[in-house]
Structure 1
Amino acid sequence: MKLDNTGAGSRPRHWTTLAAAMLAAACLDGENPAPTVGSAEPGADFGADPAHLRAGPPRLRLGSASGEGQADFHDIAGVVMDRAAGVLVVANRGDATLRTFTLDGEWRGTRGGAGGGPRELGELTALFGYRGDSVVVYDGERGAASVWPYAGGEVRRVRMPIPPGDTLQSARLQGSMDDGRLVWAVPRPDRSVDEIGESHPLQVVIFLTSADGTGFDPVAETTGVRVFSYPGDAYISGRIPHSPQPFVLSGDSVLLFGSTERPRAERVTGGGMPLAPIEFSVPPVPLTAEDRETALAPIRAEMNRRLPAQLQSRIASTLEVWAFPDSFPPLGGVIAGDDGRVWVTDYRSRMDALRGEGEVSVWSVYAGPGSPGRDVEFPGGFDLLWADETEAVGVVRDEFDVEHVWIVPLLAGARSPGT
């Protein structure tokens, strides 16, 4: 299950894009190839450091640039692999389609498409597994979820519930519980202080839809229950509020990960009961003056191109005092494994993977609270999207920026961290 750290469930953009969006808001508001199968060599996973492991070579590669095939991917929003059902589903954001394959890479069908029809999507933003027979899709344009059975048939839809009298808006689907309830979350920054350099509190409120597994009743499914409110760290105006962000682990647990100051995951059950947190050993990556200028250049260019002169001047003066952190966020990506473990990577490594840079992509896997992280090396540019105890699925971009879905085996040493 892919979890969005800008936002499960969609592909993350460079942090400068987020900064530009925040700045604008502040100023304006006050094809099917044959699969390649390989085998991992036993013992090839251990390097000099036994705690630093290497994933095996890809057993399956899917991807093409013909423009005509079912494995022509563009901007993959998520992947779900279901071993019991023998299904691999790829959410292709570029044309808002769901591509279904067997676990050996044989194409089975394509559904969806961009549009406003009952079997179409405005914006395919995120993808999650649902109860072992379906996937649940988040449509970012409509702000709604839909459940698509593997075998086809009826597409069921539900909107984000807002309790009577509540003013929370812009909720986002984060996944589903084991009993079928959908998990939604709303970030709530406190905008009562608007001065540059001042701290603002940020919290996340979690909602659950009803647990009706037979379908989405239009009444019952809009009587959401608020189960948890996580008061996040204060963040400086002008910095990107990377945390907290909610996700769902298997076993009826909601995970609220990360902190701009403390790399950790707060955990809570679907009933709102706090659980022991998971501490991540992810060192901060310093943010340099060059990083700052790299971030500001496109913001200046975009704002100068689109905004009137008076507002341009206001933005220019604001950029001079724009508050940047001393380091990148500790966490660049978080994946809730299908086996209940948590995978994390640092911010710079995640951005390098998205650009296809670097000789390896390193993710650390945690079995739970008190368990040490185990570093696992993946091929360079591998952007992890889904994992369980035996395999991981990710996206790799080639030299022509064509996206390929890779399934790689996790060797024994990478399966049981801390044991």
Structure 2
Amino acid sequence: MKRWTTLSAALLVVAACDTPAPSPDGELVERDSAGVVIAEWSGPIWTSGPRWTIGEPATSIGALESDEPEYLFSGIRGTVALSDGRIVVADGGSNTLRWYDASGVFLMQRGGSGEGPGEFSRLGPIVRTDDDGLVVTDGALHRITRFSSEGELLMTTPIEGVTVPGPAHPLAEGAFVVGAAGFSSTQMTGEEEGLYRASEPLIRIRSEVDAVDTLGIFPGPEIYFRTRSFGGHPFSRGFYYGTAGDRAFVAGAEGFVVDVYAGDGRHLRSIRAPSVDLTLTDELIGAYKDEALRLAAERGERVESSTRSALADMIFPKERPAYGRMVVGDDAIWLEQHSGGVTPTVSRWAVFDHDGAFRGTAEFPAEFRLSTVGDGRVAGSWRDSLGVEYARAYALVETGG
């Protein structure tokens, strides 16, 4: 069984679009509001043609079957391409980090299940630092673990004050920013049925245990309350954050807005695209219900009946989320178009520079889940029709759209 494929390791160092020119179809208008720069993009976003896509993977790691377990994945939590072309994959099933060379050959492994230094109970996403180090959050043990690019364990730091901690993103000053990635039953406080967002802190953590403080308080991931239960909703708004240099980018999908903060918590800029229509139409709701019933019918009459009842009672918001995910790159912010509650045919992204100018859109196959972007390349996971997971890296390809 083939364990890996590589077309050209050279593709990994092609900087296809590090600093693309602004889109000609709009204008960035800036104004001051009590010391915060409001940067509004006036042109279209999702109606613009894609400017970037991906072709064949430069590196693809994984297999349907193999007698070498390091090439089998179960729940990829993140894929990072290092500056020298090596790939690091976080595998949730084994709670391990795995290093591969640019052609996909296994190099080493760190982690494993446990509570000791360098071990994980619930491996979270991985984030690359400027020096090619790796930062990993453990959502169960509530701690950050940092490794060097060569796999040396550098730091283990506890996380306090966040209900369900998300990834740790580094700031240039040496601190890390951590926010909420989910919700728990402790946040159920008797609200009426419907959508609800609990406020959550975005905290800044330094290497010292006693140096934890709050960057700000923000609306956390949105929860759907039903009688004696809670969970996600097809149109729930998420909470997203990332860093670049000494700035943190925060997005709550309430309107097409991304806020920019300094490492000390000062609100610097608000990036907006007010012309994006977020109306949750009957057509979008109907499409979601049709797909939910189709999938339920495949599981039997009983599941279909209970799904039909749940859909009849479901409460829908007036607006849909402005986007479904955010990935912060070295010089750009990537915002994924919300799926509208149905299985997408493509993954579509709007790309802005760090000051708010729209650069264009990118389209990837729906099977590819983007983890990281930078240096003209993207890395993430691919799930095939059999559900087999692969870690992949691609060079971005300009379409001329």
Q: Same fold (TM over 0.5)?
A: yes
1:181 deviates by 1.0
Secondary structure of the residue aligned to 2:209 is helix
Alignment of 1:371-390 (within 5 A): 371-390=357-376
Give the counterpart of 1:55 among 40, 50, 53. 53
Matched, 1:209 2:205: yes
**1:331 is the counterpart of 2:323:** yes
What 5-or-longer segments of structure 1 have no aligned partner?
1-30, 44-48, 163-167, 213-219, 306-312
User: Is 1:36 aligned to 2:7, yes or no?
Assistant: yes
Confirm or deny that 1:269 pairs with 2:262: yes
Say yes or no: does 1:341 pair with 2:337.
no
Q: Which residue is 1:185 aligned to? A: 179
**Amino acid of the residue matched to residue 110 of structure 1?**
Q
Judged with a 3 Å threshold, the aligned counterparts in structure 2 of structure 1 residues 37 and 380 are, in CA distance, closer, same or farther, namely: farther
Where does 1:251-400 land on structure 2 (aligned, <5 Å)?
A: 251-259=245-253, 261-280=254-273, 284=278, 286=281, 287-289=284-286, 291-292=288-289, 321-325=313-317, 328-337=320-329, 339-348=330-339, 352=343, 358=345, 360-400=346-386
Between 1:265-274 and 1:228-237, the stretch displaced more is 228-237
Give the aligned CA root-mean-square deviation in angstroms. Answer: 4.0
Aligned residue for 1:288, secondary structure, equals: helix
Task: Write the letter of the residue equivalent to 1:52.
Answer: P
**Structure in which a larger fraction of residues adopt helix:** 1
1:262 partner letter: G
> TM-score, with normalisation over the residues of structure 2?
0.72
TM-score by structure 1 length? Answer: 0.69
- Distance in 2 of aligned mates of 1:268 and 1:103: 35
- Paired residues of 2:248 and 2:262 also in contact (CA < 8 A): yes
User: Within the alignment, does 1:172 sit opposite 2:166 as a pair?
Assistant: yes
Which stretches in structure 2 are left out of the alignment for 5+ residues? 17-46, 227-231
Aligned amino acid, residue 195 of structure 1:
E
Amino acid at match of 1:334: M
The 3 A distance-change label for structure 1 pair 351 and 140 is farther
Measure, in 2, the Cα distance between the counterparts of 1:86 and 1:294: 40
Q: Distance in 1 between matches of 2:252 and 2:199?
A: 12
Deviation at 1:236?
7.6
Q: Percent identity?
A: 22
Higher relative contact order (CA 8 A, sep 6+): 2
Quickly say closer, same or farther: Cα 1:190–1:153, change in 2 above 3 A: closer
Contact 1:243 1:257 in 2 (8 A): no
Amino acid at match of 1:73: F
Question: 1 CA distance for matches of 2:375 and 2:87?
Answer: 16
CA distance in 1, matches of 2:138, 2:272: 32
Richer in strand (by share): 2
**Alignment correspondent of 1:97:** 96
Contact 1:396 1:406 in 2 (8 A): yes
Partner of 1:195: 192
Contact 1:82 1:132 (C-alpha < 8 Å) held by counterparts:
no
Q: What's the offset of the Cα at 1:65?
A: 1.6
